[in-house]
Structure 1
């Protein structure tokens, strides 16, 4: 074997370095040997897990997901299960399984990621070593189909009474009640309700399914109300697929149901945020008239249609009247400007008194170019408008507060992740009950984040999918020791400590919550 040596002088320190190189053929051979050795190690590592591995029975006390008893405990100790059971109790009927518990079990199953009645029951049944006997899927199915309009009204009253207790707990936290904060401004004392509709694709044989305004979707068109302060889903109104986006009667129905869910002390100062579908004279007039009749201070923020008069008013605004728009994080939004154009518009008399119209211009994005007007294309800007009667004259903050209505889309996405993506029943009334169970699942996760996970910066704002992945899907085992039952979590799981702390916090609700 011949080696070639090259001597290179190191002038910096006066020393010399000997650089040894092998012939090209030898280097290729060494490279092949090393690659073959690495492949053998990888192959051994990939197959060694199956060596001396057998499967056998005899295991006991296994729990598929520790999140099931955790959410069940939250519903029990906070008093929700008891109130639902009282609302569904009937003198002439003695069920084998408590109807309130059946609803809670289905809601817990949806919170764990299942999207069907039978799947939800089977998910909860994996924790039977802890929970005891679980109702069969057919029982859960029957319990939901039995919920008529009268039963739903009783459940709504039970949820409202329970929410008073939950919000009392939230107000007693060290950080206090969760007020909405946008662009550095805390809306202290205000409850913010976001309203939006969504399309759910359904088969044509389901009652109420019809062609929607999107021609490629055939299904149902539920209307949703979410509380921006807590992330709770207060009300849901199931509608036919061809229901209009700006139908005033539907908005009034779902808003009245949502207001009924608010504790009395929190109904005094409410802000309603709706997209362009809520920019109807009848809805805004109802908000102001209802507030005046109750002696409350109710405000609104709705999207306003950009008509030709609005465009001409925007063009007339002098350059010095525009102000830089803000982001929700209180930073300047590049290229966007905001101003008040109320004085440049001639509004009809039947619009509520005190309504202002805010306008925003921003660079015209290519995806909006198709629907842009000729004026917007010439100026290279996109025009947007918002109608509001919010107090104050800091237009950038008022405008970004209106745009923050987009968080309701996250709430609807979470609802679809909790079972709203498909309706399991044929009957319209049963699918309305399914919407109720979805709201129960969303509320359980919201209370879990606010009351038991408030110590964790990420988990207290996590989506349902993230909560499952990092916390709720932890496997466990039930063991008995010293006359106690213990749920033993894997010691090396990263979410074990947070689960144990959340369990302890939920336990404290038992002493602070009065019986229903």
Structure 2
């Protein structure tokens, strides 16, 4: 039987000229220059430069970040950029990149973080100039005032011996980094690389990652707009909540919304509630959530772990299949969850405050996609190299977020990195020359050709920072 096919026959050769792949990744490289990130990285790593003729360490660090944003998983993946000099210019070899990462000690890492903060301020100013108001985080169809910081930790499994890697509480082996993401834009503000044995509710680590995240926010916003810090139950420690409260003395309007454990006092308080104390809960679309209700327990719980003015909101709902229930939930026939917040009365109804906290779950998506953008695997046995790699992975996440809020519209402005790579970053194109310029020719029938061309055009209009 003759095979039926509608595909044209191909003759495959390796003599193509002027053809480039991953053309969209050039957008991120140019964005790093437009926001001043590359220049700031160069200044931060200038003391690490070993000889005048070598590659600029700041440029090497940016190229590694672009490679990670583009989906690379190992330093060897720099070959995708390096072998396309017509598109990306001179790119360091993997061996040079290794040396640059190895030269980044704690002092250099601190300078890199300061450089990221400088570039972030420029990117946010560019957004204000070209697109207006800063993106607002939302919950249940309603804007959350100011900035929302989500903190969470996640295990990264290591398959070989690495410095500071250790057995984890999940009986795996690796690291247990903690992250702070900005829910408004998806930017990765800060992270702490911790051993696998590090606890989920370590207050010192929560304080460290929060303070580092706040440092990434420009001063006029850090001291000028409300900031909400969300965590799961791991962040419900006396020291961490007291630290958040103490930040107000510095001029930061920082408040918390954290998951709280349900102990005997909470169960007793729940049992005292009458039917009229419960209100229908809403989901992320502001629709009533079938079988779920919320109630306020403020005034019924006396716990010195929490600062004065803390409110408690309990949620009950029919357990979904596989839900873990304690004896109290089993007897009541409902699953209960508790949140603690110092958001004052009058900010919003308790069903919305509950939905606002449940939106913290978005951080799990940030971490999931972040593991595909660099920190899902660490390349070295050395801790300092892995710490530098983590910082560049955060930079890669930022570049994607800045591209989406500054250069893209519609579905692409909200797409996850995997979709963005498939549709934009991995686009093939042809390089031509004319009128003393290099032209990037995207296939006219590529479905997202106009989006990519428009993004490059928008990039050209961004106001550039003044570099001294």
TM-score by length of 1: 0.87
Task: Pick from 114, 136, 146 the counterpart of residue 103 of structure 2.
Answer: 146
Counterpart for residue 66 of structure 2:
108
Equivalent runs, 1:233-248 vs 2, <5 Å: 233-248=188-203
Structure 1 residue 492 corresponds to structure 2 residue 445: yes
1:211 deviation in Å?
Answer: 1.1
Q: Deviations over 1:432-452 (max 9, x none)?
A: 111001001100000010000
State the distance in 1 between where 2:135 and 2:74 align. Answer: 33
User: What corresponds to 2:372 in structure 1?
Assistant: 417
Q: Is the counterpart of residue 291 in structure 1 residue 248 in structure 2?
A: yes
1:325 aligns with 2:281: yes
1:395-414 aligned at under 5 Å gives the runs: 395-414=350-369
| Residue 393 of structure 2 corresponds to residue 438 of structure 1 | yes
Question: Which sits farther off after the overlay, 248-257 or 93-102?
Answer: 93-102
The residue number in structure 2 matching 1:207 is 163
CA distance in 2, matches of 1:428, 1:196: 21
Q: How far 1:365 sits from its partner (Å)?
A: 2.0
2:179 corresponds to which residue? 224
Larger RCO: 1 or 2 (CA < 8 Å, sep 6+): 2
| Partner Cα separation in structure 2 for residue 316 and residue 176 of structure 1 | 45
Is 2:34 the counterpart of 1:49?
no
Aligned to 2:294: 338
Tell me which residue corresponds to 2:269: 313
Cα deviations by residue, 1:284-339 (Å, 9 ceiling, x for unpaired): 001111222x1221100110001122122112111011111111211111111011
Deviation at 1:226, TM superposition (A): 0.3
- Alignment match of 1:94 (pick from 22, 38, 52): 52
Question: Is the contact between residue 69 and residue 127 of structure 1 (CA under 8 Å) also seen in structure 2?
Answer: no
**8 Å Cα contact 1:270-1:297 kept in structure 2:** yes
Match of residue 472 from structure 1: 425
Cα distance in 2, alignment partners of residues 273 and 432 from structure 1: 25
Checking the alignment, whether the CA contact within 8 Å between 2:284 and 2:355 is kept in structure 1 is yes
Q: Write the mapping of 1:191-206 to structure 2, written as runs, cut at 5 A.
A: 191-206=147-162
> Quick one: structure 1 residues 63 and 204, their matched pair in 2 at CA, closer, same or farther if it must change by over 3 Å?
closer
Listed one character per residue, the Cα deviations across residues 417-439 of structure 1 (whole Å, up to 9, x for unaligned) are 11211111101121111100100
Whole-angstrom distance in 2 between the partners of 1:362 and 1:171: 42
Q: Is the 8 A contact 2:23 2:87 kept in 1?
A: no
What CA distance in whole angstroms lies between the structure 2 residues aligned with 1:260 and 1:59?
A: 48
Stretches of structure 1 that go unaligned for 5 or more consecutive residues are 1-38
Q: Distance in 1 between matches of 2:229 and 2:142?
A: 18
| Residues 1:270 and 2:230 aligned together | no
Question: 1:378 Cα shift?
Answer: 2.3
> Which residue matches 1:9?
none
Displacement of 1:175: 5.0
Tell me if the contact between 2:190 and 2:394 (Cα under 8 Å) persists in the aligned partners.
Answer: yes
> In the alignment, is the contact (CA less than 8 A) between 1:204 and 1:210 conserved in 2?
no
Q: Deviation at 1:393?
A: 4.9
Tell me the equivalent position of 1:28: none
CA contact (8 A) 1:111 1:418 kept: yes
Secondary structure of 1:104 counterpart: helix
CA distance in 1, matches of 2:181, 2:50: 36
Give the secondary structure class of the aligned counterpart of 1:106: helix
For 1:450-461, list aligned pairs within 5 A. 450-453=405-408, 455=409, 457-461=410-414
Q: Which secondary structure state, in structure 2, belongs to the residue aligned with residue 214 of structure 1?
A: coil
Does structure 1 retain, via aligned residues, the 8 Å contact 2:34–2:464? no
**Does residue 514 in structure 1 map to residue 466 in structure 2?**
yes
Give the aligned partner of residue 85 of structure 2: 128
- Cα RMSD between the aligned structures? 1.6
- State the distance in 1 between where 2:179 and 2:440 align: 37
User: Residues 198 and 221 of structure 1 are in contact (CA less than 8 Å); yes or no, is this contact kept in structure 2?
Assistant: yes
Matching residue of 1:171: 128
Please state whether the residue corresponding to 2:299 is helix, strand or coil.
helix
Q: Could you tell me how far 1:56 is from its partner in structure 2?
A: 4.0
Using the TM superposition, give the Cα deviation of residue 409 of structure 1 relative to its aligned residue in structure 2, in angstroms.
0.4
- CA distance in 1 between partners of 2:271 and 2:466 (Å): 60
Question: How far apart, CA to CA, are the structure 1 residues paired with 2:286 and 2:165?
Answer: 43
Deviation at 1:44, TM superposition (A): 4.2
Q: Tell me how far apart the structure 2 counterparts of residues 92 and 70 of structure 1 sit (CA, whole Å).
A: 29
Give TM-score, length-normalised by structure 2: 0.95
Preserved contact between residue 304 and residue 386 of structure 1 (Cα < 8 Å): yes
* Matching residue within 216, 230, 239 for 1:261: 216
Contact 2:231 2:259 in 1 (8 A): yes
Report the Cα offset of residue 170 of structure 1.
Answer: 2.1
In structure 2, list runs of 5 or more residues that go unmatched.
none
